Amino acid sequence: MPQIRLTTPLTDEVVEKLRIGQRVLLNGTLYTARDAAHKKMVELLDRGEELPIPIKGQVIYYVGPSPAKPGRVIGSAGPTTSGRMDPYAPRLIALGLKGMIGKGKRSPEVIKAMKQYKAVYFAAVGGAAALLARAIKSCRVVAYPELGPEAIHELVVEDFPVIVVNDVLGADLYEEGVKIYAGR
């Protein structure tokens, strides 16, 4: 299948052209965050403070990697279930977040925010964590080190493979894909 190579940060122009089912190879910087880091970031926003990471045009990867073996950049690093970040995601999308990487369905609120503010949701293959780790070239903690694997890490990736699941039109591959193959 054809693949589209993209480099972060992503612009509206690039994001608008993406459609569900497309395979994308991501390059550049990704930020990791799970529920605990999202909760902290939204609390900062509620207090009117600055986020610990740049958000405009960025892509957040929902992942809590396993510990790195000696001499390695990172441990195994596959996506976690995105639904747990749904309560927080629309706030970040409104501030300019352009992409999220995870696995599993998003809420109607997140899908609406992606449509309104032009953002996309990518799926990485859940459980392909040893394979995905190979695309991660560097990793450093940039916020909340006390959260351990849930700290915010800045990753530099090369050709990190993902699939577009929700696009700016509000389409959802989890719905459309299943319709095509049900009963066949």
Partner 1 sequence: MRLVDTATITATVAELCQKANYELGEDVLAAFKEALGQEISLTGRDILQQLLENARIAREEQVPMCQDTGFAVVFLEVGQEVVVSGGDLYEAVNEGVRRGYQEGYLRKSIVDHPLRRKNTGDNTPAVIHTRIVPGDKLKIIVAPKGGGSENMSGLRMLKPAEGVEGVKKFVIEQVRAAGPNPCPPVVVGVGIGGTFEKAALLAKEALLRPLGQPHPDTEIACLERELLEAINNLGIGPQGLGGRTTALAVHVEVFPCHIASLPVAVNINCHASRHKEAIL
Among 4, 141, 169, 178, binds partner 1 (CB under 8 A): 178
Among 45, 51, 68, 171, binds partner 1 (CB under 8 A): 68
Among 17, 19, 23, 137, binds partner 1 (CB under 8 A): 23
52 binds partner 1 (CB under 8 A): no
Contact of 45 with 37, CB cutoff 8 Å: no
The residues, any chain, with a CB within 8 Å of residue 104's CB and separated by 6 or more, are 81, 82, 83, 126
34 binds partner 1 (CB under 8 A): no
SS3 103: strand
Q: How far is the CB of 12 from partner 1 (least distance, A)?
A: 25
Identify whether 38 is a catalytic site residue: yes
CA-CA distance, 155 to 44, in Å (whole number)? 22
CA-CA distance, 91 to 110, in Å (whole number)? 9
Stretch that binds partner 1, among 4-12, 92-100, 110-118, 126-134 (CB under 8 A): 126-134
Distances (CA, A) of 100 to 50, 71, 82, 104, 163: 20, 28, 9, 12, 11
Q: What is the phi/psi pair of residue 86, to 5°? A: -55, -40
Among 130, 141, 142, 169, binds partner 1 (CB under 8 A): 130
- Applying CB under 8 A, which residues contact partner 1? 1, 21, 23, 63-69, 75-78, 80-81, 83, 103-105, 123, 125-131, 133-134, 148-149, 161, 163, 165, 173-174, 176-184
Residues with active-site annotation: 38
